[in-house]
A and B are shown apart, each in its own frame.
Chain A
Amino acid sequence: MLTLIGVAIVILGFALRFNPLLVVTVAGLATGLAGHLSLTKILSTFGDAFVTNRYMSLFILTLPVIGLLERYGLKEKSQELIRKLRAATTGRLLIVYLFIRELCAALGLTSLGGHAQMVRPLVAPMAEGAAEAKHGELPEATKNKIKAHAAAADNVGLFFGEDIFVAIGAIVLMQGFFEGQGIHMEPLQMAVWGIPTAICAFLIHSVRLLLLDKKIKREVDASASTTTATVNTSAKGGKQA
């Protein structure tokens, strides 16, 4: 039971925003000691596992390509392409973005998109703009909800789409893990079974995004009637005065 201390350290450490690398290392040391492993064994396991799992960081080999292309305008070109899609409402715009994000992730293009590169500068403002074009001025809470949904679409698309790409860290982790347990699995098998889940995720989240449009309309109407009531009261008050 004491070995669960590692889990506790991870939960607390992440919740208190300590450096994740430090948290994980301390958790590992604590768990190892709680499990009566010698310090030598713990260090050797650290070294062994780290080397065995080098494949997880092979994405860095794609950084020179992406860096070079970005220097020559890759992001600007992709933004131009997205701008040409005439999606009329917030919900539909985010569904398109969800689709693109999920598809690109499934093809391994996990760098196309992302919170810093695309959601904040482009997708969120466009989603807000689409709602403003339809409903006029938006209440602050609604604006924040739209921004939150823009970010969520990115998360959902990436998370469920990337499990279809055979070389993604998650699939490679699973393969390595099962390998360590004596079960051999091909990444392609795991990737194929990611497809039904990804399709379900897309459909379910798309429904949520369509409902978002209705929610926006409700919130705008609600806030409009409160404003009208305030205006009427002050107008009446003015007349009386």
Chain B
Amino acid sequence: MIISLEMVYYLAGIFLAIVAILSLRDKANPKRVLTASFWGLYAITFAFGKLIPSMYMGILVIVMVLIAGFGGVRGGKYEDTTTEQREKSARKIGLKLFIPALLIPLVTVIGAVWGKTKLGGVPILDPKNVTLVALGVGAVIAIIAAMIITKEKGIAPIKESRRLVDAVSWAAVLPQMLATLGAIFALSGVGKVVSDLVSSAIPVDNRFAVVAAYCIGMALFTMIMGNAFAAFPVITLGIGLPLLVTMHHGN
């Protein structure tokens, strides 16, 4: 393929590395070394994910969690525009402001649908991850469009995004961590325990009962975990896959 998923990850790694350097130089942040370390380690997981052995990566992740968990990730000071400046600019640029914002989903969908076409015998986008690579390409095209429309140059977009990155902060890592938790749950057999509990509670032969158990179980577990990301692996492993897909031939 011409553009692979790993390339998109390198891009993310470079972006986070610049954020880390900018965080380090921000003297208004009392924890700037810790904050920079957090983003720097995160950048490493993106760029060198496949190169560093799993166990060291695991230790790296735990260090990130410790930094974040004990308040090491803070925001700094930014040169913000005032509301009047923004309103003036909104009137001046008008609806064109929406073009870069809409380019992201547009390019993603176009890439997802046509990304596998071949150029010189090679598919343009990584055929196993068309959607994700399309998203990466879309983001790059959108930032170029945004820089043209707003006439900003150079590193300004990354400086701007620091404000948003710091607003999201360590929570950016939470979906990945929840997925990691799901992996540990799977390896430790939590799914089997749950499915055994459910099987003993409901009539497994009744398809409606199983579907109802899956849906209600998913909703309850989401409410408990506060997040569907965490509930999904457990309930699907426990009820969805063994009972719906395997037993009842769910598609």
Contact = CB atoms under 8 A, between A and B. Distances in A.
Interface stretch (A92-100, A132-140, A141-149, A168-176): A168-176
Contact size class for A?
A: 35 or more
A contact patch SS: helix
Interface in A22-80: 22, 24-25, 27-28, 31-32, 34-35, 37, 40-77, 80
A48 B97 CA distance: 40
A108 interface: yes
B243 interface: no
B101 A45 contact: no
Contact of B90 (A21, A22, A68, A72): A72
Interface stretch (A1-9, A201-209, A220-228): A1-9
A56 B175 contact: yes
Contacts of A28: 180-181, 184
Interface string B222-236: 001110111011101
A240 interface: no
Contact of A14 (B46, B101, B226, B241): B226
Interface of A: 1, 3-4, 6-7, 10-11, 14, 19-22, 24-25, 27-28, 31-32, 34-35, 37, 40-77, 80, 107-109, 112, 159, 165-167, 169-170, 172-174, 176-177, 180-181, 183, 187-188
16 contacts: A11-B224, A32-B188, A34-B188, A35-B189, A43-B54, A45-B183, A47-B60, A50-B177, A60-B168, A62-B139, A65-B146, A68-B146, A69-B100, A169-B229, A173-B175, A177-B182
